Every structure is written in C-alpha cells, then in structure tokens.
Amino acid sequence: MDRIAVVSLGGTIAMGHRGPDGLTVSLGANDFAHALARPDLSFTGVDLCSRDSSELSARDLSDLVTTLTRLGDEGIHHVIVTTGTDSMEEVAFALERLAPASARVVVTGAMRAPTLDSHDGPANLRAALSVLTSAASRDLGVVVVMNDEIHGADLVRKSHATSTASFTSYPGALGWVGDGVALLVNRPATRRARLEGPLDPAARHVALVTTYLGDEGRTLHALGEGSLDGLVIEAFGSGRLTPHAADAALTLAQRLPVVVASRTGAGLLEHSTYSAPGSESRLLAGGVLSAGWLTGVQARVLLELALRTGYSARLAELFAEFQI
Ligand code: ASP
C-alpha cells in the first residue's frame, strides 16, 4: 500500500471560516487526507502551522524541510504540501533546493476559499494526488499542481491576483491532469542548485528591490546603511540599472552578495551587450552576480537559503546553474 503524507501550512485552501475580520484557517491536514481517502492508500496528516502564507517565516521553511526528512525516515516519500498561494512559488522553489532527494513533493492550495461554492481546493487536492500516484510524474522534482496544471518548481509563478488559473510557468507547464492521471509534455532537464547543508532556522536579511525609470539609487544607499546579508535587485530588461543605482549596487557588492535579476520576470540576463553606465557588463565586472533566468523572488530565496546552508563561498556557482 502506498503511504502518502499531507502536510498543511494553512492558506486559503484551509480557510473554512469567515469571521468578522475575514477568512481564518479552520481546516487541516487530516481534513484534506479524509477528503482524499482511497482504499489502496494510507494517509498521514501533519499540521505544521495554520497561517496565511504571508505569515510564513524562515523557521516554517526549515520545519517543513525537517518534516519531509522525518517522513522519509518513516518510509513516507510521497507528500502533498498544502499552503497559501501568495508565497507558494517561494515554498516550491525552496523545497526544490532542500527536500530530500527521495521525496516526491506536490505543492497545492486554493484561490477560492471553502466558504465559496466555487472553492477550488478539493479539485486541486485530487489533481495533486493524481500527480503523486502517476508513474509518469516521477523524477520531475518538486511540482506545483493548481487548476489541473503541473508546474515545475523552478518555472512557476503566481501571475494573477484572483484567478483560479493564476499559476503559470515560463516557458510553459510540464503537463496537466486529465482523467485522474498526469499527462507530461515537458520535463525539467536537471535538478539545479540542490543545497545539501542543514538549513539554519534563523533568517538572513536578504532584501529584494526593483529599479525604475529615474532611480537615483537612494533606496540602495538606505539599505546599505542597515544590516543586510544580501541583496537582489530587479533590473531593467536583460540586466541594467540606472547609472546612480548601478554605482550604489557596485559599492554594496564590495561587502555583501548583490544579485541582479530581470524585472520582466522571464528570460536570461545578458552579459556584455550594452555600454550604458548601468550596463550589465559594468555590474558583472564589479562583482554583482547574475540571477540568470531566475525571477527576483526566486533569486532572493536562493541567496537566502545558500547563506543559511553555508554556501556563501559558492554563490557564483549556484547562480551559474540558472544560466545554462
Ligand atoms: N492569502 C492566501 C495565502 O495564504 C491566498 C491563497 O492562499 O490563495 O496565501
């Protein structure tokens, strides 16, 4: 008999109660396991926390990784993680770096709460289970299953505030769920930037800022005056900053890791195309790292996790894995 764990963190999928201040979590892992019950499967429910995903912390991530390791030690390698959609792409991206290699992990949630007739949680849970139990979906790494689509953890993003079709991938989903089975049309080429070290539960202060037309670099200067462990800057297009922002970024890069990602949300940064004062060539020559094709949000997670797992001397190598 296949053993499956449902690990619940909260989120809209679990918000079955509407109080005077709005939705609150009232459902947990055992409710989801009960909804999925099948005679050929045995379910274990783990309630890790009951929060809106805007409230998840660095420690929740390390508790999640510890839980996956413990479940693996108990012989449970198939896991559905339920969480809020707002930070789901970060949870999935982090798990792709840190989940035990033997774990098959599907992350899911809901855009519409159980208090609504149009609640999408039950369908998403069933689709997640279909993916976990389909032989075709082995070796995909961590995936997000929402709205019957299967998304790779390194490609997925929440791209609409309220739509049930909010989750998309660039350049596309890995497949979809139809008739209770996973249909795969794409496969990730490899698992990138796996982090082996134990994850320090303490957060690192890794900030994420976006540049803009006329950016005078003041935000970067102000950040530099605080206690910062690392910085990700969402740059224009394929990697440029305004001249002032570039100066500030280069100053900061002399004492802490600074990474540029594209604020466009997709595509590979360039290395030596333009000659503007804030060009990618000048930034990279001054020690700023390129996030490759990672979004700013993903690059921020990677940088923080790398610092929490003792990879600070190998940051360039880690980010290089997203440039090939
Ligand atoms: N606010 C919710 C969250 O916990 C949104 C959702 O789950 O859809 O992220």
> Which ligand 1 atom sits nearest the alpha carbon of residue 10?
4
CA of 148 to the centre of ligand 1 (A): 18
> Does residue 218 surpass a pLDDT of 80?
yes
Predicted pLDDT at 324: 77
CA of 18 to the centre of ligand 1 (A): 14
Record the pTM: 0.97
Closest residue by Cα to residue 295 from 138, 127, 90: 90
CA of 115 to the centre of ligand 1 (A): 14
Q: Distance between CA 124 and CA 111 in Å, rounded?
A: 10
Predicted pLDDT at 125: 98
Coil, helix or strand for 146? strand
Would the CATH topology of 2-184 be identical to that of 206-320? Answer: yes
> Which ligand 1 atom sits nearest the alpha carbon of residue 51?
4
pLDDT in tens, 268-296: 999 999 999 999 999 999 999 999 999 99
Average pLDDT over residues 216-227: 95
pLDDT in tens, 138-148: 999 999 999 99
CA of 186 to the centre of ligand 1 (A): 28
Predicted pLDDT at 131: 98
149: its two tokens: 């689509």
Correct CATH for 206-320 of 3.40.50.40, 3.40.50.920, 3.40.50.2300, 3.40.50.1370: 3.40.50.40
Question: In the structure, which protein residues have their CB atom closer than 6 angstroms to any atom of ligand 1?
Answer: 11-12, 52-53, 84-86, 109, 111
**Per CATH, the architecture of 2-184 is what?**
3-Layer(aba) Sandwich (3.40)
> Which ligand 1 atom sits nearest the alpha carbon of residue 111?
8
CA of 278 to the centre of ligand 1 (A): 37
In the chain, the percentage of residues whose pLDDT exceeds 90 is: 98
pLDDT in tens, 88-126: 999 999 999 999 999 999 999 999 999 999 999 999 999
